[in-house]
Amino acid sequence: MVTTNENISIGTAGKVKAYYELLKFRLSFLVAFSGAFGYSLAVERIDWERLILISLAGFLITGAANIVNQVKEIELDKLMKRTAGRPLPTGRLSVKEASIYCLILLLLSSYILFFEFNFKAGVIGVLSFILYGFVYTPLKRVGPISVFVGAIPGAFPPMIGWIAATNHFGLEPGILFAIQFFWQFPHFWAIAWVADEDYQKAGFKMLPNNGHKDLRTAITIMIYTIFLVPCGFVPYMLGMAGVNSAMIAVLCGVLFLSQTFYLMMKPTDKSALMMMFGSFIYLPIVQIAFLMDKV
């Protein structure tokens, strides 16, 4: 009896861990942070209960989208070193278990967005789930158009946060969307460059210019990154934040852009890896700067 109970305990712990891994916690947390950033920037005084709710909604709906992605790519994940150990390819969770989990997360997040906030926020949240799980995911094997499509739901979180707080569209949520939208191209392509060998095993075609890791691809990445520089100044022009954060955002944009110049000079995996880490640093610094300098 003791042995049986120990085995059940180990099995339960393994299941819990598998469900946790299915969420892609770091990605879901970053989305939740972006949603909280948009909400906090929009309100005069932060209601901490509602801030927690919008963060939770962002976390849950991103987790649900991540599960759809993994369910649809089980066989492909088995081919790649970076994904072969995930819960579904290893059989630690079944497709049925993952699907039920996904549905629960989607329903909970949708309830929060629609009923605790407003219809507009709920619609955009569900749209982001559909675009990521059912449009972006299959397009990864078609071509770099997937990066453009994936950048749309990826840029929604701060917009959703703002609309959840204000219940209206406008230039303000638009610029929050634009900054995160353009940021995703160097971010995605840096990851795709570094992971290209693994991606090829699954037939993923993420890099532009026919997937070559060369000067042309580096130039394409640079062109999209340029937009971050002027975009960083717009929140100040719209009265969303002060001039100090605008200077920080523009400076971060210039430094991030300089990494693309380095990639153009040395189109290597090492340069792409540096740019990937740069992308991880850029977004939170800029968002925190806007919050700290909020008008």
CATH number, domain of 122, equals 1.10.357.140
The reply to whether 192 and 250 lie within a common domain is yes
Of the candidates 133, 132, 232, the one whose C-alpha atom is nearest the C-alpha of residue 180 is 232
The reply to whether 164 and 184 lie within a common domain is no
The reply to whether 76 and 89 lie within a common domain is yes
Top-confidence range, 13-22, 55-64, 203-212 = 55-64
- Indicate the residue among 169, 188, 204 that finishes a domain: 169
The reply to whether 164 and 186 lie within a common domain is no
pLDDT in tens, 195-205: 999 999 999 98
Q: How many domains does the chain have?
A: 2
Domain of 175 in residue numbering reads as 171-295
- Indicate the residue among 121, 149, 169 that finishes a domain: 169
Average pLDDT, integer, range 136-148: 93
The reply to whether 237 and 295 lie within a common domain is yes
CA torsion through residues 32, 125, 39, 60, sign: negative
Task: Give residue 183's pLDDT.
Answer: 97
Provide the 8-state DSSP code for 210: G
The reply to whether 160 and 177 lie within a common domain is no
The reply to whether 133 and 186 lie within a common domain is no
The reply to whether 107 and 235 lie within a common domain is no
Residue spans of alpha helices (H) in 43-170: 48-72, 74-77, 95-111, 119-130, 137-139, 145-166
89-103, 108-122, 198-212, 239-253: least confidently modelled range: 198-212
Judged on CB neighbours under 10 Å (0-12, 13-18, 19+), 164 is buried
Q: Is the pLDDT of residue 4 over 60?
A: no
Tokens of 239: 């009265």
Give the pLDDT band (50/70/90) at residue 295.
low
The reply to whether 15 and 105 lie within a common domain is yes
The reply to whether 158 and 42 lie within a common domain is yes
Provide the 8-state DSSP code for 92: S
The reply to whether 75 and 206 lie within a common domain is no
Of the candidates 120, 140, 118, the one whose C-alpha atom is nearest the C-alpha of residue 68 is 140
Contacts of 156 (CB under 8 A, 6+ apart): 124, 125, 127, 128, 177
Task: Give residue 13's pLDDT.
Answer: 85
Task: Give residue 3's pLDDT.
Answer: 36
Query: What is the CB-side half-sphere exposure of residue 153 using CA atoms within 13 A?
Result: 25
The reply to whether 73 and 4 lie within a common domain is yes
pLDDT in tens, 214-245: 999 999 999 999 999 999 999 999 999 999 99
- How far is Cα 256 from Cα 273, in angstroms, rounded to an integer? 13
- Indicate the residue among 147, 169, 191 that finishes a domain: 169
Query: What is the CB-side half-sphere exposure of residue 196 using CA atoms within 13 A?
Result: 18
- How far is Cα 25 from Cα 63, in angstroms, rounded to an integer? 8
- How far is Cα 17 from Cα 37, in angstroms, rounded to an integer? 29
